[in-house]
Amino acid sequence: MFDELQAALAVRFWGVEYRTIALSLLIIVASILFKSVITDLIFVGWRRLMIKQQRPWHDKMLDAIENPVASFILLLGVGIALEVLPFNELWHHRINVTFKILSTIIVFWGLIRATNVGSQIVAEHGRRKGLSVATFVPLFRQILNIILIIVGIIIVVDKLGYSVSSIIAALGIGGAALAFASQNTIANIYGSIAIALDRPFKVGDRVKIGAAEGVVEAIGLRSTQIRTLTKTLVSIPNNIIANEAIDNYTLISQRRILVTVGLTYDTTRKQVEAIIAEIRSLLGKMKKDIAPDLQRVHLAAFADSSINIEVLCFTTSGNTEHFLETRQELLFKLMEIVEKNGSSMAFPTQTVHVVKS
């Protein structure tokens, strides 16, 4: 029985013994069946080591590279199985090149996955610490992924036997034309880098850039998206932003309140002086809401229909809600002061004199 099996396995198929083919298939099947087992054994050991160090982000990073490692184990098994087969030198060379290319792809796949997870971890940490750099982590991630893809392509081209230096030189010749054709894209990338370095705003800030005003929703390689006050989404190219004046309302430490109190022309000088004195006293009492360092209350002008008193002050906070509430309270009290002193608010009027002929 054993001799018959030996004889059957010695039969050749296209010049290859069945025993060699069977061994190769067995290695492939074993790689498919045991890749998960081997991967689990590797990562269980790593996870136990990471638990001792008590770093919560380790699990996320291990999950990111687990599939690439499993794929590499499968590829390694298939490579060993193909090496067992008695191919000629040319086919062995082709298999070797294919193995190197696929290995490179898997390695860079793992690096990109690790980069994505790493950027999420850094962004979460930055948000917890209140660091503005957390806003630009997605931008850095995109740039790093592009660099990894370019490096990976260069390595694959090199494994295929092409001269990388010659290709780069050829690309350099056509690069000028390509750069000219895509100068806006390149300008946007430079603009995004400038935004990342200067950090004039971050996601969530309320800004005004040119005619657009709203909350920053996303900062990308090409453009920045702003949700306007009318809830429309505006995309502004980063090269335009880099050359525009940017008003960041979120970074305002104080908000200005400028009010013109228009009194009717039947108001006397003593009444005007009393009103000005009471307004100054009022601002001094609102220390919690109005900053004491810059307060101005003066008679400003004799307008067409009113005697104007200008009131200038700043809130103690840059918060919009606090500004609106403080301004409203101030306006109500200004009305009370005017009424208390026997005057009234003016409105546009005209006096017509009729001359009898």
Write out the chain's pLDDT in tens, 357 residues: 444 444 444 444 444 555 566 666 777 777 777 777 777 666 666 666 665 555 656 667 777 777 888 888 888 877 777 776 666 777 777 878 888 888 889 889 888 988 888 888 777 777 676 665 666 777 778 888 888 888 888 888 888 877 767 666 665 555 555 555 556 666 777 777 777 777 888 888 889 998 899 999 888 778 889 999 899 999 998 888 888 888 998 888 889 999 999 999 999 999 999 999 999 999 999 989 999 888 999 999 999 889 999 999 999 988 888 999 999 999 999 999 999 999 999 887 766 767 776
Beta bridge partners of 263: 307, 345
Q: CA 190, CA 183: separation in Å to the nearest integer?
A: 10
Q: CA 232, CA 213: separation in Å to the nearest integer?
A: 10
Query: At 250, which helix (H) or strand (E)?
Result: none
Task: Enter the pTM of the model.
Answer: 0.50
Contact present, 226 and 201 (Cβ < 8 Å): no
The pLDDT value recorded for residue 214 is 92
- What does residue 332 show for φ and ψ, rounded to 5 degrees? -60, -45
The pLDDT value recorded for residue 5 is 43
CA 29 from chain centre, in angstroms, equals: 45
* DSSP assigned state of 134: G
Task: For domain 256-340, give the fold.
Answer: Alpha-Beta Plaits (3.30.70)
The pLDDT value recorded for residue 307 is 94
> 325: closest CA among 286, 357, 356?
286
Q: What residues have CB less than 8 Å from 240, skipping those under 6 apart?
A: 191, 209, 210
Measured in Å, how far apart are the chain's first and last C-alpha atoms?
Answer: 144
Please state the domain extents for the chain. Answer: 2-181, 200-250, 256-340
- Residue 239 burial class via C-beta count within 10 angstroms: exposed 0-12, middle 13-18, buried 19 and up: buried
Instruction: Tell me the H-state helices in the chain.
Output: 2-9, 18-53, 57-84, 89-129, 137-159, 164-181, 183-198, 238-242, 269-285, 320-340
Task: For domain 200-250, give the fold.
Answer: SH3 type barrels. (2.30.30)
